[in-house]
Amino acid sequence: MTDNSASRDKDTVSPVDKFAAFFRPKQHTVLLAMNGADSDFLSPALKVAGCVVLVAGDVRSSISEVTRKHPDVVVLDYSIADSIQAARQILAMRSATKIIMILGNEGVSKEIENMGIELFLKKPLSIQRCVDAIITVARLCPPHNMVRK
């Protein structure tokens, strides 16, 4: 007969470990829905800040990524075709996902302002300003086990 008690001990998680895991900082998932140059500029800094970074170059792939990966924050570039429609769809299917809209010279209409986008950032952007804004908005996201889908 073999003694399986050692293997059972490895497989069980103590209540203290479960408690500590609950309070461990959450790794935020960020989807960058923007042109390649902007995502190449921002992605490494977000990874250094401890985020999981997903990249989508167009509206269709960004909606697909939101459906599959459930990011905490979507950084959406206004200059991408149909970005406003994508923001509406994302907010409709994942109310817990926060959206940051990157603007060029465009003004923000009242309709866009009131649709539920968390934050608007105007270009030109610094890496530090973007990362700080994304991390701040990501911290507003509830834990995944508390999210209404």
Q: How far is CA 45 from the centre of its chain?
A: 14
What pLDDT, in 10s, does the model give residues 41-66? 899 999 998 899 999 988 889 999 99
* Spatial contact of 30 and 54, defined as CB atoms under 8 Å apart: yes
Sorting pLDDT into bands at 50, 70 and 90, what band is 24?
low
* Spatial contact of 131 and 49, defined as CB atoms under 8 Å apart: yes
What pLDDT, in 10s, does the model give residues 81-95? 888 899 999 999 877
Asked if residue 108 has pLDDT above 60, the reply is yes
Q: What angle do CA 148, 30, 120 make, to 5 degrees?
A: 90
pLDDT of residue 8: 46
Fold classification of 28-142 (topology level): Rossmann fold (3.40.50)
| Mean pLDDT for all residues in the chain | 81
Sorting pLDDT into bands at 50, 70 and 90, what band is 35?
confident
How far is 77 from 56, CA to CA, in rounded Å? 11
Sorting pLDDT into bands at 50, 70 and 90, what band is 146?
very low
pLDDT above 70 as % of the chain: 78
How far is 39 from 5, CA to CA, in rounded Å? 50
How far is 93 from 9, CA to CA, in rounded Å? 41
pTM comes to 0.76
Provide the residue ranges of all domains of the chain, joining segments of one domain with +.
28-142
